[in-house]
Structure 1
């Protein structure tokens, strides 16, 4: 990269850097703290450089919502559509979201839902996202042979349970959560998870069960 370009990058930052900083402030202090001057100070760039990437603060906030849609809504939908031989494997694919923030960011979800309490527009985005996610979960159950109504109820139950976890900011040790997973699977699907499915699930989250769990 030429020297002039490197200088411009330092001076202006980048669109992704501005968004990353905005997300950090949103998570730390709520949407009221997401303002241009604090962001510029955090990035150590000129305030005017903001306008290279965004028309105004509202455009930045719209971009935050769009990134949340892609991260959490589409992340969850993708997991419901991931390859699975059976409903147990499918539901464990979804449970990956609750343990892997690269698939679904619970802190971000809480921040957006808190923002929605102050904004009718954001509340509308939440309503739309909830519907898309529940429909995706219901389709997953239907794909594995459940009738439409039970599929919808099971999908809603899974989703509302997890949103409850997020809204209450529930904290559980990984061991505690993993020990509860088989019962959650059985409650949500009506099927007992085979040991092999659980072993694969444990492995991809770096969990080593105790002797009594094996």
Structure 2
């Protein structure tokens, strides 16, 4: 038993290590770079050790899709269901995904969407993810009293805006993004977030707001 345990995490590496290397290759260079021999060189492991954890390259690619689905779609749906006292606060919960790579990995999203252009199976995964995410956003609006059609349009406006950010690889400083977020919330929901809602949101992301009145820092 001890020898078997050592074999799983020793010179063969680990399943998580191979998957992490595959992820890095995917986001850096696309799916064509996700191949066993280059990964083994990257990890400084034998090529045969790969097969201890995955039956073949297709199994590794399937694991990457599972990882993407669980992380990006799973976390986005959870944020739409998080507790909020107003629709503005609910949208800020969703916006956590756009600022926290641990919740929603935009590099991973871009890589998988690029991959879908050459794989019908991955394209179907993208379609299913888009549907699930939009339905979750729509349900969030309905929960706050919006009628279903209006909720659907608002959900699409939010989601397609963010996918545009990802597709264009838009880069903003945290200060610039934070300055724009209250207006985004107003456009998406019809109401501005309260100062206390913004303070809580900024605190979650380690951002200290400037106090408009005194020029000092928010506590």
Which TM-score tier does this pair reach, normalised by the shorter chain?
A: over 0.9
Gaps of 5+ in 2: none
CA distance in 2, matches of 1:69, 1:7: 29
Deviation string for 1:150-208 (max 9, x for gaps)? 10000010000000000000000000000000000000000111100000001111111
The alpha carbon displacement at 1:42 in A equals 1.2
CA distance in 1, matches of 2:192, 2:8: 58
CA distance in 2, matches of 1:42, 1:114: 23
The alpha carbon displacement at 1:10 in A equals 2.4
Tell me, yes or no, if the aligned pair for 2:26 and 2:34 is still in contact at 8 Å.
Answer: yes
Tell me, yes or no, if the aligned pair for 2:8 and 2:14 is still in contact at 8 Å.
Answer: no
Matched, 1:80 2:100: no
Q: Alignment partner of 2:166: what SS?
A: helix
Give the 3 Å change call, closer, same or farther, for CA 112–4 of structure 1 in structure 2: closer
Looking at secondary structure, tell me which structure has more helix per residue.
1
TM-score by length of 1: 0.96
Tell me, yes or no, if the aligned pair for 1:10 and 1:45 is still in contact at 8 Å.
Answer: no
Gaps of 5+ in 1: none
CA distance in 2, matches of 1:126, 1:193: 31
* 4+ aligned runs moved over 6 Å, structure 1: none
Matches within 5 A, 1:124-203: 124-203=124-203
Equivalent pairs, count: 214
